[in-house]
Structure 1
Amino acid sequence: MSGPNSSYDPVQVASLSEENVEAMVAEALRAFSEATTVAELKQARITHTGDRSPLALANREIGALPPEAKREVGKRMGQARGRVNQALKERETEISAAELERRLAEEKVDVTLPTELVTQGAVHPVPAVMDLMSDIFVAMGWEIAEGPELEAEWLNFDALNFIPDHPARTMQDTLFIDPPEHNLLLRTHTSPVQARSLLTRELPVYVVCPGRVYRADEYDATHLPVFNQIEGLAVDKGITFGNLRGTLEHFARELFGQDMVLRWRPSYFPFTEPSAEVDLLCFNCHGTSVGDPDNPCRMCKSEGWIEWGGCGVVNPRVLEACGVDSSVYSGFAFGMGVDRTLMFRNNLSDLRDTVQGDVRFSRSLVGGAR
């Protein structure tokens, strides 16, 4: 920095002249305008506004001026540096906006491009109804029990009091697995899960057993070789047929509506005694088609009732086979087809629709709801 100068001579401070200051400002403005990126503008800012910039170095020379010249030159330098800073600020705004616009253009997604819409699927009505039936029992405090579909013959038949020459054991009804000496089969009902529950759980037992079952049956509008069942078992002290009736009436009314009426008919099953068949009042005609040839009902065949499932008090032999003292404990069991229940609730005419895999069928039933 120059020392004090009492005899002011403009030649000695030529860098502070108006022409030189204007040249410095013009050079800074040119550098700013030529910068096209943030990085280039940063370098121009350091060159023309930093501590070693021409304007900064010239500004230091003001101290060498006599007092009468400092005011005029100081004002000139202040205005020059202000113009440079303002130009820098404006150029920063312009470059930032341009870079943002460029990024937006590069990253733009054309939402108007044509695309192939993928059709959404739907919950199949059969498992949807099965879940609904299971939820009703879970709400009553029951548990869900499951078992293998490849089952031991003893659990499928012997433990349930099927005699050795019972017709259900033959190849006409049962699908046995080779080799025969292994005594394995595809379960014909979910009752083996009940036997497994008695063998593995602590008493009392309240379980509901949903699942797939297999039989050597016809494939037609009312029969499937592979279908779904849900069975229930309650074993406790003091269980009676009245408990069974109250449970199934509550189950039916939760499933079909509070106005549902049930009919009980005596029947026979090896694993229950006494046994009964449970019928539902026809959803379609409500019994009005009985004896009226002019008003036939296709659903109940003008009988007024629809067969739903079987039930009864657990046979003491079944309890003993599973290690339960029948003199202390008693129980009831029931079972019905899930697929047929879906037919009743939705007035379906052909069970084969449930296995065709047509998503339109699933959507039309809205997950199995009526």
Structure 2
Amino acid sequence: MQELLEKIDSYKQEIEASSVLNAEEVEAFRIKYLGTKGLVKAIMGEMKNVPNEQKKQAGQLLNEFKVFVETKFEGLKAQFENNDSDASHIDFSLPGDAVAVGTRHPLSIVRNRIVSIFKRLGFAIAEGPDIEDDWHNFGAMNLPEDHPARDMQDTFYINQNPSWLLRTHTSSVQARVMENQKPPIRVICPGRVYRNETISARAHCFFHQVEGLYIGENVSFADLKQTLYFFVQEMFGKDIKVRFRPSYFPFTEPSAEMDISCLICEGEGCNVCKHTGWVEILGSGMVHPKVLENFGIDSNKYTGFAFGMGVERITQLKYRVNDLRLYSQNDIRFLQQFTGAV
């Protein structure tokens, strides 16, 4: 038994002092100590020479020695398994890993395009809060509390008495601009708006608008028409056809809706244009004198025009999207189709 203890101590010192320089030397260590003819198996064979009353103690010592050797081997092996920094194994001529590049959302692409077109015409950008008071959203826009046109916009109210609501249009931004700025005024107002509508392929409870306002001396309906003609030609191409239809909005008089020839059927009639060959893209008109007077602007001296469009509708026509719900579902299959757009 004493001889066995001395051998184990001697082998432990030898193994503790062992070092290796490469994976080949690690394998040589394994064969020498843990192989089928290795030192551990040989010393295990000496159990037969141990007296019976000492076999239990000897077995514990031999098992501890075997674990010691296996632990040392695993440590040596790990040095080379985890060492990937050897420059000789790196091929610097290989191409790099592809980096996935994101893209703007289609609504952001079209919104930025709209803003860019009107900025070239001298329009500045104005923004306002999503939560508005009743006056800026309705009252200032010639929509008093008992006005029937309010029924056209089923509203999300945050509070009543006083009334606070999620804005139903970005006309509230125009109101704030007229409240704080004297003519001449030339702004566009992009932003998200909210209405309590049933969600479907053609409508949603939130959407995006870009509204425009121009107030100055001698501003006419002809100025409005030429501004919008320029916009649609820049957005959809020079061959696009345009028509104006009389309409009604409380904050403009006279008012008109603007249609363009359907891009999907090229004016021949389809489900998108309801077989008319025309698609409405925006509402417009001359600013109502009452709206000007609400902000202390002399309606005898100044006139102006305003217009508003839904970004979703423009995007639908630009990219032929047939369901407005796709814009907010975050479906990667839909969004990846716009990776080529900037």
Report the TM-score when normalising by structure 2: 0.70
Matched AA of 1:158: G
Question: Is 1:338–2:318 an aligned residue pair?
Answer: no
Separation in structure 2 between the aligned mates of residue 105 and residue 343 of structure 1, nearest angstrom: 52
Say whether the 8 Å CA contact 2:170–2:189 is kept in structure 1.
Answer: yes
Aligned pairs for 1:180-191 within 5 A: 180-191=160-171
Q: Which residue of 2 aligns with 1:49?
A: none
Which one of 118, 129, 145 corresponds to residue 137 of structure 1?
Answer: 118
3-state SS of 1:182 partner:
coil
The structure whose Rg is larger is 1
Q: Which residue of 1 aligns with 2:271?
A: 298
- The change in CA–CA distance for 1:368 and 1:167 in structure 2 (over 3 A counts) is farther
Residue 288 of structure 1, aligned match among 252, 265, 268: 268
Cα deviation code 1:66-108 (max 9, x no counterpart): xxxxxxxxxxxxxxxxxxxxxxxxxxxxxxxxxxxxxx96567
Contact kept, 8 Å, 1:126 with 1:368, in 2: the verdict is no
Residue in structure 2 matched with residue 262 of structure 1 by the alignment: 242
- Residue range with higher mean Cα deviation, 353-362 or 165-174: 165-174
Instruction: Give the Å deviation of 1:220.
Output: 0.6
Q: Equivalent residues in 2 for 1:170-185 (5 A)? A: 173-178=154-159, 180-185=160-165
Are 1:278 and 2:258 an aligned pair?
A: yes
**CA 105–331 in structure 1, closer or farther in 2 if over 3 Å, else same:** closer
Report the Cα offset of residue 199 of structure 1: 1.2
> What is the one-letter code of the residue matched to 2:200?
D
Instruction: Find the residue that maps to 2:227 and give its secondary structure.
Output: helix
1:10-49 pair list within 5 angstroms = none
| Cα gap change, 1:318 to 1:155, in 2 (>3 Å) | same
Report the CA distance between 1:170 and its aligned residue.
Answer: 5.7
How far 1:359 moved relative to its partner?
2.8
**Equivalent residue letter for 1:299:** V
User: Quick one: structure 1 residues 177 and 111, their matched pair in 2 at CA, closer, same or farther if it must change by over 3 Å?
Assistant: farther
Distance 1:185 1:209, change over 3 A: same
Secondary structure of 2:280's counterpart equals strand
Q: 1:327 matched to which residue of 2?
A: 300
Question: Given the alignment of the two structures, is residue 240 of structure 1 paired with residue 213 of structure 2, yes or no?
Answer: no
Please, which of 319, 335, 342 is the counterpart of residue 362 of structure 1?
335
State the alpha-carbon separation in 1 of the partners of residues 89 and 136 from structure 2: 62
| Alignment partners' CA distance in 2, 1:181 and 1:301 | 43
Shift of 1:121: 2.8
Inter-partner Cα distance in structure 2 for 1:146 and 1:190: 8
Question: Structure 1, residues 329-357: CA drift from partner, whole Å, max 9, x if none?
Answer: 00000001000110011111100111111
Identity level (%): 46
* 1:247 to partner: Cα distance: 0.3
Match runs of 1:216-255 below 5 Å: 216-255=196-235
In the alignment, what sits opposite 2:24?
none
Is the contact made by 2:195 and 2:206 (CA closer than 8 Å) also made in structure 1? yes
Residue 361 of structure 1, CA deviation: 1.6
Given candidates 323, 336, 352, the residue that maps to 2:325 is 352
Shift of 1:166: 2.7
Alignment of 1:140-155 (within 5 A): 140-155=121-136
- Return closer, same or farther for 1:275/1:216 CA change in 2, 3 Å cut-off: same
Cα distance, 1:182 vs. partner?
Answer: 2.6
* Counterpart for residue 144 of structure 2: 163
Structure-2 separation of matches of 1:324 and 1:367: 46
Structure 1 residue 365: Cα displacement: 3.0
Contact 1:319 1:325 in 2 (8 A): yes
CA contact (8 A) 2:149 2:250 kept: no
Q: Distance in 1 between matches of 2:91 and 2:207?
A: 46
Mean Cα deviation higher: 298-307 or 328-337: 298-307
Q: Which amino acid aligns with 1:216?
A: N
Identify the residue that residue 98 of structure 1 maps to in structure 2: none
What is the Cα deviation at residue 118 of structure 1? 7.1
CA shift for structure 1 position 322: 1.3
- Measure the CA separation in 2 of the matches of 1:109 and 1:137: 57
Would the alpha carbon gap of residues 153 and 107 (structure 1) be closer, same or farther in structure 2, given more than 3 Å must change? farther
1:186-197 equivalences under 5 Å are 186-197=166-177
Gapped regions of structure 2 (runs ≥ 5): 1-83
Counterpart contact for 2:103–2:338, Cα < 8 Å: no
Q: List runs of 5+ in structure 1 lacking aligned partners.
A: 1-103, 290-296
- The answer (yes or no) to whether the contact 1:342–1:368 under 8 Å persists in 2 is no
**Distance in structure 1 (CA, Å) of the matches to 2:219 and 2:340:** 35
* SS in structure 1 at match of 2:218: coil
> Retained in 1: the 8 A contact 2:102–2:339?
no
Which of 188, 202, 216 is matched with 2:182 structurally? 202
1:130 offset after TM fit, Å? 0.4
Aligned-partner SS, 2:161: helix
- Matched to 1:215, the amino acid is R
Tell whether the 8 Å contact from 1:346 to 1:365 is kept in structure 2 after alignment.
no
* CA deviations over 1:303-342 (Å, ceiling 9, x no partner): 0100111100000000000111111000000001000110
CA 1:301–1:169: 2 relative to 1, 3 Å: closer
Cα RMSD (Å): 2.5
Look up the equivalent residue of 2:327 and give its one-letter code.
T
Q: Paired residues, what number?
A: 257
User: Alpha carbons of 1:200 and 1:328: their partners in 2 closer, same or farther (altered >3 Å)?
Assistant: same
User: Counterpart in 1 of 2:30?
Assistant: none
Conserved in 1, the CA contact under 8 Å of 2:103 and 2:341? no
Which of 122, 131, 143 aligns to 2:103? It is 122
Q: CA separation in 2, counterparts of 1:116 and 1:225?
A: 42
